[in-house]
Amino acid sequence: VPLALSYRLPHFLVEPEDKYIVKNKPVTLTCRSTPATQIYFKCNGEWVHQDDHYIEHSVDPATGLPVMWVTIDITRQQVEKIFGLDEYWCQCVAWSTTGTQKSQKAYIRIAYLRKNFEEEPQSKEVALDQEVSLRCHPPEGVPPAEVEWQRNEDLVDPASDPNFVIMPDHNLVIKAARLADTGNYTCVAKNIVARRKSNSATVLVFVNGGWSTWTTWSSCSAVCGRGWQKRSRSCTNPTPLNGGTSCDGQNVQKSACVATCPVDGGWSEWSKWSACGADCSMWRSRECTQPSPGTGGKDCQGLDLQSLNCTSEQCPQSESEDVALYVGMVAVALCLTLLLIVVVLVYRRKKEGLDADVADSSILTTGFQPMGIKPSKPENSHLLTIQPDLTTTTTSYQGTLRSRHDATAKFSMTNGPLLDPLPNGSHTLHNGKLNPDPAEFVSRFSTQSYFKTLPRDVANTSYGTFNFLGGRLTIPNTGISLLIPPEAIPRGKIYEIYLTVQRKEDLRLPLAGCQTLLSPVVSCGPPGVVLSRPVILSMDHCFDACLDNWAVRLKKQNYEGTWEDVLLMGEELVSEPFYCQLEAETCRLFSEQLGTFAVVGESLHMGAAKRLRLVLFSDAYCSTLEYNIRVYCMDDTQDVFKEVMQMERQLGGRLIDEPHVLLFKDSYHNLRLSIHDMPQAHWRSKLLAGYQEIPFYHIWNGSQRYLHCTFTLERLSLSTCELTCQLCVWQVEGEGQSFTDTPFLVMDSNATALAGPSAFQIPYLIRQKICSSLDAPCPNGADWRMLAQRLKLERYGHFFASKASPTSGILDLWEAQHFHSGNINQLAAVMADIGKQEAMIFLVSDGDC
């Protein structure tokens, strides 16, 4: 060995390194030095006992110098002895002939990883392409934990997907959120001791809806005249996903349009006859030019060339032919004369029979007896020319107006009946006798083919037997009636006719777009009966009756069960079998056919409004601290209100406020309800939110007959029996209404079926005289046109003019409008004003009866 190498200071070939004790497993420290004569470990300033060292000797092959190896084991107990005072360290010390050398310190630590994260990621809902930051602070540990991220248990690798970035502080950043980034994200911390997972954080990437481009405008709905056209767009650009907001605004736009009417061709005047030709015929012609057909109109019907035999010098006629011609003409004249005599005799005999029939049915003796009205004697008493028989009576009575209780701002939870009972069963005038058994009608016609259109709900069905004298069917408390005018049923025919309300949920009434049901679905039948004149079907509707805001159609169900549009209101044609008079709350349909009808509307713009009826009920008996207030939202028609009243009676409910009417606009906004101003010392609301909301489409489409929501209140003591509060109802972004008034109820208890004279205000013979007096046109205008003007029905003049007896149509409509409230005195005054004294309108007061 070279002398220079043997006398230098020792240096360390291997120095001890930092170690971690995992659980109870000891760690080994190693030290290697050359040249060295001795080598030992010193830990925390103290020498390690010689017996704890393991020493080996060897020779470095490169230098030939001696090499010493030394190792020691450090246990967990050794480290824990100085825990909290200082860190545990060890150092290697080597000696040689020239001096001493110390190695670097090696620190021995106990490894651990705590269970709880100092900060865990939180769930987030973010919009598409938005940046997302998920925070994570791993648990404390020795050595410090490494962090990685998982999505749905799969490792997130920023190297393969640059949209992910793991920051130095261990937070995960998603640069631009994609739909594929939706998932459950977990922060994972690990070291040599353990592996910990945080709670998963859900990242939901939502997409807000966007409108597509508008479609092109549709063709005009009207073939001729005023109509509407629409265009639409869809919320698909993009489609809302994962709870994203829907598009704001309308998906349908409507615009008024005017369609060019087709022009049917018309014939010009005939030309002059040509000269008699050699073939004993002459000709004339015309052209289809006044006007010429256009815009899809029809061509002229008939011949454009006409010929006629003629006699001239070129076609001489013999005397024998002339004699035969004259004899034939005389024979024809004699036959026509005899036929005319026979017709006159038959007509006179039938008229005598009619007079006898009228007398037998007591039309003349019954006279006119007003229903529940006591008119005063008119000044023009000279019109009373026919004396009535005061021994007969009618078969109906007038309902009463009943107030629930005195007006007060409070209502109490007392016991008592909700309403007076409705009439028990249906009363039907069958062949002049009352038939109190509704089931008899159902069983008697259950085998008929048309009976499939009649529901089994006899409580909402009226029926009766009628002949040419006519009559009336009424469903109490629904506003629905059917007037069968005199002569509507052909003479010699007897029909059993029914009238019923169909439940909307039992029918598949197709509604498309912005269409909504505006009336009850009413059936009258049997379908297919022959009528000589239109009947008048009256039913409530629930819209603002402004045809500028609506396209309103009458739908009729055919024999196959499908629905057809039979009438567009405002554009009725007198040639059609249907005609409609629209009033503020009632629709009166002139129909030459019986069947199932409904009124359907489609709003033309957002100004269109439906009338809703809002009704409040509560429990009649309350023995617990909880108290429920039920608020019904329904179409403003009497039939739905009647159904709700019957249902609440079965539930034991009571009406606590007068029904209110609210205009509900086609604005796509929901209906919101809330309760305010309760005495907090005695009551509290159990509703978590500040209000309840009914979606717009649940109300607008009309598929559900009524909707309701319940407010559950709690009184703080059973001794509290009075509640004062205010219920506010409004359409979002619209005006509201509050309910404070005291309720009342009108009970309609009239007979459901009236046949013959008792069904009409005007006696049959007097009606005939009025018609014969006013039907004929009068030069000074004192005819049916003046009657329509005085009764404010002149806007339907073109319809009345199309009938054989315009006056009869006017009186039919007057009867349908004024059955309960008609004042015959006013009608008599109108006739006197027109100057038709001979019409002989007569009056009978209740006192005279």
Q: What is the pLDDT of residues 804-843, one digit of tens each?
A: 888 888 888 888 887 766 667 778 888 888 876 554 444 4
Among 37-41, 120-124, 214-218, 505-509, whose mean pLDDT is lowest?
505-509
**Of residues 758 and 519, more confidently modeled:** 519
757: pLDDT strictly greater than 50: yes
Element (H, E) at 653: strand 653-655
For the beta sheet containing 132-134, the strands, ordered from the edge strand earlier in sequence to the opposite edge, are 132-134, 172-174, 164-166
Pair of tokens at residue 15: 């120095």
CA pair distance 762, 791, nearest whole angstrom: 15
pLDDT tier at 499, thresholds 50, 70, 90: very high
CA pair distance 269, 706, nearest whole angstrom: 63
CA pair distance 595, 528, nearest whole angstrom: 8
Q: What is the pLDDT of residues 84-111, one digit of tens each?
A: 667 889 999 998 878 888 999 999 988 9
Q: Which of 716, 733, 642, 707 is nearest to 681 (CA)?
A: 716
436: pLDDT strictly greater than 50: no
CA pair distance 570, 599, nearest whole angstrom: 13
| Candidate ranges 226-235, 253-262, 337-346, 483-492; pick with highest mean pLDDT | 483-492
- SS3 of the chain: helix, strand, coil, percent, to 5: 20, 35, 50
Pair of tokens at residue 434: 């009352």
Pair of tokens at residue 322: 């002339």
CA pair distance 382, 841, nearest whole angstrom: 10
Among 145-149, 240-244, 718-722, whose mean pLDDT is lowest?
718-722
* Contacts with 234 (C-beta within 8 Å, 6 or more apart), sequence order: 211, 212, 251
- Average pLDDT, whole number, for the chain? 78
Q: CB-based burial of residue 338 (10 Å sphere; 0-12 exposed, 13-18 middle, 19+ buried)?
A: exposed
Q: What is the pLDDT of residues 544-602, one digit of tens each?
A: 888 888 889 999 998 888 888 888 888 877 778 888 888 888 999 999 999 999 999 88
C-alpha torsion sign, points 107, 110, 111, 115: negative
* Contacts with 333 (C-beta within 8 Å, 6 or more apart), sequence order: none
Torsion (CA) 525, 530, 532, 533 in degrees, nearest 10: 30
CA pair distance 765, 103, nearest whole angstrom: 137
586 SS3 class = strand
**Of residues 822 and 284, more confidently modeled:** 284
**Of residues 121 and 350, more confidently modeled:** 121
pLDDT of residue 751: 61
pLDDT tier at 159, thresholds 50, 70, 90: very high
Q: Distances from the Cα of 637 to the Cαs of 422, 480, 706, 828, 829, in angstroms?
A: 18, 10, 11, 33, 34
Q: What is the pLDDT of residues 632-667, one digit of tens each?
A: 988 888 888 888 888 888 888 888 888 888 888 887
Please identify which residue in the block is written with the tokens 């506003």: 479
Element (H, E) at 322: helix 319-360
CA pair distance 80, 109, nearest whole angstrom: 9
pLDDT of residue 147: 93
